[in-house]
Structure 1
Amino acid sequence: MNFEWFKTFAKRWKSIQIGSLIHEDKIVGLVSFWILASLRIILTLLPQSGYIHPDEFFQSVEVVAGDVFDLEVSRPWEFNTTFPVRSAAVLYGVVGVPLALLKAVSPFAALWFGWELRTPYAVLATARLAACLLSFLVDLALYRACRACGRDHRALLVALASSFVVLVYGTRTFSNTIEMALQSVLIGCVADCMALSEQVIERREYLDEQHRKAGSPADRARVHKLRLLLPRHSLRRCAAVATLTVVGVFNRPTFLAFAVAPVFFWLQRGLGSASVGLLDFHLRMLALVLAGLPTLVLLILVDSFYYGYLTLGEISAVKLSLDNLVVTPLNFIKYNANADNLARHGLHPRYLHLLVNVPLLYNALGLVALGAALRLVYRCVCRRWRDLPRAQSVVGLMTASWLVPVALLSLFPHQEPRFLVPVTLPLVFLYTRRLHRHGGLALSCWYACNILLTAFFGFAHQGGVWPLAEHFSREMAAKPRLTAVHLVTSYVYPLPLFPLMLRNSRRPLFSRQTNQHYRLAREFHPYELGSGGLDRVLGRAESLITSCERTYAEKKLDYRVYVALPMSLAERFYGLVDRTNSSLSYATVKVFYPHVSTEALPSFPLAAKCRPEQSESDSCEEYFYSSPIKFFSRYAQQFGLALIKIQKVSRLM
């Protein structure tokens, strides 16, 4: 009996099944990615109440919103006019344009639909939405890099979109977020150029060989025509690479550490082949420098004009000199070259980036990356050069694009996790498959860690500060005129002032009635005391009340003094007030949840306070077993930010 037909049918059926499974896996991957991409936008529009670092406000929205809407803001030292170290040109291109559009649209929205768009939520959501849209350039660059080397992009896109670095950092107005987008686009451009150069060089060498073997002039002419049809690849994307590099350096001069590997790989494409030599390398370098000059000049002029070094009249008259030009990246490098300046921001061990920050940002993927880095070092020590990634490959590009910047940034003693955000794309590209090969446990760890970190940094970490700002925005709008509000904060991050939507008191105004210049009286006074202790907080509150009684009470004006502390310190603060100053009263106005301050974490034994009516012989352990819900409730209540109003007792009578 002949079973050939059965074998043929079985093979076809198996191929159909495998093909359907692959197709189904592709569909699932695409659906997962679009769900996660939608989640990124949703988390941006909520917006997240978490507060990762003061720079996400004070080096972006605080500055631009103050300029665009003419608001009272706390302008950071990086943007002072005497020695500016931050470029305003890039910042305004990302955050300023959306906020200017919001300002232009808000009168029409109020007139036609009755919508008030000049609100704290609208300003923050607009700025963060711009950062979110910018983060999708990372997805696009990853897709293009996968296509350039023939990899399946679906699993990699899902891994990228599920990372809390993209979900949280990617939707915040950090300069590091802009740096991540620029670095990713740069890598995508270089990967595309490398893939094209490899194809063109391979075909060029094949046609050169055919040209040498051609026996007749007609055959040689035909092959020569085919060589002329090959696309030009040597200077492909030269302007894009140069512009991205210059813009990235003006955004953050540390971009030099991230750009050095992609730029080098762009320069050395095809080097060593028969058709590409050192002359091409030097021509590419010259073309790169020339292509970057227009962007360089434009950014210098914009920054010089913004900081007042240059005027429109001087620009139109072409009266330019070194005295009226400011180069912010150069000032940035000068400032950070001084070790004393870095010490003000905190010094860290030089291994922190590699051994702590990479695993913190990328958890399971970061551990896989560290293992791969150790294997590379081992191969170099053993001189197994053939086992290293090829210099002409996209894998080599990606490997250098994360190892080189981590190594260079580790030379500086000030190291924060957000500085490594731009290496997200190469890590996902290189090690997502290895993460899948490690099995379900590694993937479960990846997704679980990213969910927890998204919840922590997106909503809990310093999560009470933004609701506190919104609360004062409403209070300042509803309070009587000429009522001064003083807020003392401690063990929390600084409060941004743009959400209060107060008119700028620093701008001089002119009265046509009196023909005199004047300034608006300042209505809100913040005092950020860091982690100096509760005694210092109470001392500042007492001095403020004494000063206000002398200044405002004599003029029959009202004032309010508040203290904002983590709930883990509120009880101790109340006890300190009761023990040291009987002339002051306090009242908790509101508690904002959730709020986790790493400077004042709740202590579990202290949280498990015994009931006041318990005798000293009763233990907290007995209380825990008799009422575990209340026990844990006391602990959970400490994850909040308390707003406390301080008054003199005489004012209450």
Structure 2
Amino acid sequence: MQRKSTQNFIEYDPNCKGAYGCPVRLNLVPYWFLAALRIVLTLLPQIGYIHPDEYFQSLEVVAGDILDVEVARPWEFNTTFPIRSVALPYITVGFPLAILKSVSPLLDFWFGINILTPYTIVILPRLVSCLLSFVADYCLYRICYCYGQNYRARLITFASSYVVLVYGTRTFSNMTEMVLTSILLCLVADCMCYSDRVIMQDDFLSDKYDKAASPVERVKLFKMRNALPSHSLTHCLAVASVTVIGIFNRPTFIAFAFPPIFFWLHRGLGSKNIGFGHFHLRILTFVLAALPAVVLFILIDSFYYGYLTKAEIGHLEVSLNNFVVTPLNFLRYNSNSQNLAQHGLHPRYLHFLVNLPLLYNVLGILSMLAFLRMVYKGVHKQWSDLPRIQSIIGLMTASFILPVGVLSMFPHQEARFLIPVTVPIIFLHSQRIRHSSTTERWTERGKSAKVFFMRSSNGNIMLTLWYLFNIVLTVFYGFLHQGGVYPLMDHFNQEMQTKPRLMTIHVVTSHTYSLPLSLLQLENSKHSVFDRETGHRYKLAKQFFAYEMGSRPLLEVQKKLEELLESCEFKLQNKKLDYRLYLALPASLSDEFHITIYNSSSKFFHTVSRVFYPHISTEALPKLLGQTDCSQDITEGYCEKETFYNSPLKYLTRFIEQFGLVLIRISAPRALKYSQY
């Protein structure tokens, strides 16, 4: 076992009188409360919509295959150049949806209960993600336990992070990447701890053997050394397999896997009986152990995307062109800066200066300051104050710094890309924000170590800020950010079931994220039906149409509505195909839309159908100053400006009303007599 006196974190009660304080054992009740809260928040559900990828890189793809419904399949999963593997989404999303599909007819037949709803389609995959997130909790506990660290404080800090409460319960590939990174760190930490213990015993017996006076004693010591367990290739298959799974989940996992693998390969190097021969043997064994998982994932993707078929295998017509390697396609695509420009280019410093503080607030700032201190000590050659290369502190430090540094080299940077560094950051810095925490520095010289403690007077403030920011961000990203989209789709799911059969629904969205069509459970329009009367097979007509306008000016949105209205009116008059045309936009833009329509002399009618609360779009934030009141008919071409001083209650009411997603019904004056709405 590695000596715990070096680099050991100890909590102290500041009220205890003594030279260094008194040990404190935190109660785990807060952790179990936060763990239960994580499950409760998942089941509510959280209506917040963080990023389109939480639907369009998992649910939209798998639901279209398993539930056979109409979806908006993303380009990453096209058959011509697929850059995403389907194996992991089918486990995290496909497995619960397959169970839901199997159980739903039985419950409908026996009890008349329809469980195939937008709620269950969203919640069951999220519940699987939530349960997987607890694997990271266990890995953090296991690492702390192996090295005698304070796991209570770390678990409470980990469970109280909004990254875990919100991102950890969503169907992001980044969440799966965080779990796999935690597993890899746990496996490597266990290997390091085990190797340290065996190497320490081996070195001790080797020294005794060299000093033995009699042949009998040498034979005895030789047998004891041979009886020591093998440790050089411990968990090799597991480490290699997790690495492959992580790379096929997201090829960026290479950045997160490199530090643990590096430390796994370097265990014990420099001791008497561990040399570079063991290092090269570990590399060779690691590569061989990774091959089964690599072959399995390539086969799964090749069959799924149609590159490889059973017929080709049966006729032995298989070549390299029959296999697809999605991580390789991913790297080829992202190596082109023009492709990244389509998704947004960001400055290289965004991860360090914005995304880390956004995800981990005070811990993110402390981690950056700690990194700068390490750079300072390295420049001044204070090597004894830096973590040892074969220590758990060194492993966690490298697992934080290197991935963030590598990802900062790419111009496309989003905060969720850094989620996998959650466990290293929590392990390294969580104790520094607690009210009884201590700030430590350590030095190692040979086998002796000295640990110096210094009280942190800012612990209470940092802990308060930690909880405050995480509560605010949990509410914002969990319930407010684009929070009207899920209720909107739930509303359209019910409307699609009650509308006339030959009526189509058209929805234009402005300043709103993409609509996940899988929640509507529409019949796949790619299929066809057989008409017994005519004896012909007809393709199913598409019944729901979504048009994304992004953040374009409302004048362009108006023109799009006029085009759609003209087209729908033509079909209504010539083909008797009725329609409903809607516009969904943040309530903060409803008055501006009202003004735009009036000033442009538009010929269509618009009425508010429903408003879904709460909803915040960062592209159209609620206006704190200069609110307008267009509730009355406009006669002069402008809206009355609201001020807090004129009418405080009305001002606040108007401000709160902006936190919604407005669904506006668009209709032509002459179309009212045809509409069945």
TM-score, with normalisation over the residues of structure 2? 0.90
CA distance in 2, matches of 1:107, 1:506: 23
2:71 is the counterpart of 1:73: yes
Which string of whole-angstrom CA distances, capped at 9 and with x for unpartnered residues, describes residues 164-209 of structure 1? 0000000010110110000110001000100000010000110111
2:3 alignment partner in structure 1 = none
Matched-pair contact (CA < 8 Å) for 2:591–2:630: no
CA distance in 1, matches of 2:412, 2:571: 43
CA distance in 2, matches of 1:233, 1:80: 44
Residue among 611, 629, 634 paired with 2:649 = 629
1:320-399 correspondence to structure 2 within 5 Å? 320-399=318-397
The one-letter amino acid of 1:373's match is F
CA distance in 1, matches of 2:303, 2:631: 64
Offset, 1:112: 3.5
1:502 alignment partner in structure 2 = 522
For the structure 1 residues 405 and 219, does the alpha-carbon distance in structure 2 shift closer, same or farther, using more than 3 Å as the test?
same
2:505 is the counterpart of 1:485: yes
1:164 alignment partner in structure 2 = 162
For the structure 1 residues 543 and 202, does the alpha-carbon distance in structure 2 shift closer, same or farther, using more than 3 Å as the test?
same
CA distance in 2, matches of 1:576, 1:610: 12
Matched-pair contact (CA < 8 Å) for 1:608–1:632: no
2:317 is the counterpart of 1:297: no
CA distance in 1, matches of 2:110, 2:430: 50
1:126 alignment partner in structure 2 = 124
Instruction: In structure 1, list runs of 5 or more residues that go unmatched.
Output: 1-13
CA distance in 1, matches of 2:154, 2:177: 21
> What CA RMSD, in Å, does the superposition of the two structures yield over aligned residues?
2.1
Offset, 1:583: 2.8
Offset, 1:508: 4.2
The one-letter amino acid of 2:658's match is Q
Offset, 1:434: 1.6
Residue among 581, 586, 602 paired with 1:561 = 581
Matched-pair contact (CA < 8 Å) for 2:626–2:641: no
The one-letter amino acid of 2:552's match is G
1:9 alignment partner in structure 2 = none
1:572 alignment partner in structure 2 = 592
For the structure 1 residues 432 and 579, does the alpha-carbon distance in structure 2 shift closer, same or farther, using more than 3 Å as the test?
same
Which string of whole-angstrom CA distances, capped at 9 and with x for unpartnered residues, describes residues 465-513 of structure 1? 1111111001001111010100000101011101101010013455566
2:219 is the counterpart of 1:199: no
Residue among 473, 477, 498 paired with 1:453 = 473
1:198-217 correspondence to structure 2 within 5 Å? 198-217=196-215
Offset, 1:220: 2.4
1:229 alignment partner in structure 2 = 227
CA distance in 1, matches of 2:315, 2:374: 57
Offset, 1:514: 5.1
1:468 alignment partner in structure 2 = 488
CA distance in 2, matches of 1:371, 1:210: 45
The one-letter amino acid of 1:185's match is I
Q: 1:599 aligns to what SS in structure 2?
A: coil
2:146 alignment partner in structure 1 = 148
Matched-pair contact (CA < 8 Å) for 1:483–1:523: yes
Residue among 113, 116, 119 paired with 1:115 = 113
Which string of whole-angstrom CA distances, capped at 9 and with x for unpartnered residues, describes residues 507-544 of structure 1? 34555665544321000000001111101111111111
Q: Higher helix fraction: Structure 1 or Structure 2?
A: 1
CA distance in 1, matches of 2:432, 2:467: 15
Residue among 528, 545, 568 paired with 1:525 = 545
The percentage of aligned residue pairs carrying the same residue is 55
Q: 2:112 aligns to what SS in structure 1?
A: coil
Offset, 1:125: 0.4
CA distance in 1, matches of 2:554, 2:356: 35
CA distance in 1, matches of 2:166, 2:602: 45
CA distance in 1, matches of 2:82, 2:641: 56
The one-letter amino acid of 1:333's match is L
Residue among 431, 434, 437 paired with 2:432 = 434
1:400 alignment partner in structure 2 = 398
1:424 alignment partner in structure 2 = 422
For the structure 1 residues 486 and 33, does the alpha-carbon distance in structure 2 shift closer, same or farther, using more than 3 Å as the test?
same
1:270 alignment partner in structure 2 = 268
The one-letter amino acid of 2:362's match is A
For the structure 1 residues 289 and 508, does the alpha-carbon distance in structure 2 shift closer, same or farther, using more than 3 Å as the test?
farther
2:578 is the counterpart of 1:550: no
Matched-pair contact (CA < 8 Å) for 2:569–2:671: no
Offset, 1:22: 6.1
CA distance in 1, matches of 2:357, 2:48: 21
CA distance in 1, matches of 2:76, 2:119: 25
Offset, 1:612: 7.2
For the structure 1 residues 338 and 582, does the alpha-carbon distance in structure 2 shift closer, same or farther, using more than 3 Å as the test?
closer
TM-score, with normalisation over the residues of structure 1? 0.93
1:241 alignment partner in structure 2 = 239
2:171 alignment partner in structure 1 = 173
1:100 alignment partner in structure 2 = 98
Which string of whole-angstrom CA distances, capped at 9 and with x for unpartnered residues, describes residues 54-109 of structure 1? 00000000111111000000000001000001001121122111211221222222
Offset, 1:317: 5.4
The one-letter amino acid of 1:421's match is I
CA distance in 2, matches of 1:90, 1:514: 44
Offset, 1:111: 3.0
Offset, 1:603: 1.8
1:11 alignment partner in structure 2 = none
2:591 is the counterpart of 1:593: no
Matched-pair contact (CA < 8 Å) for 1:608–1:631: no
CA distance in 1, matches of 2:591, 2:425: 46
CA distance in 1, matches of 2:594, 2:416: 37
2:310 is the counterpart of 1:308: no
For the structure 1 residues 203 and 319, does the alpha-carbon distance in structure 2 shift closer, same or farther, using more than 3 Å as the test?
farther
Which string of whole-angstrom CA distances, capped at 9 and with x for unpartnered residues, describes residues 377-413 of structure 1? 1011111111110011011000000100000001100
CA distance in 2, matches of 1:420, 1:543: 43
The one-letter amino acid of 1:107's match is P
The one-letter amino acid of 2:46's match is Q
Q: 1:503 aligns to what SS in structure 2?
A: coil
Aligned length: 629
CA distance in 2, matches of 1:108, 1:551: 40
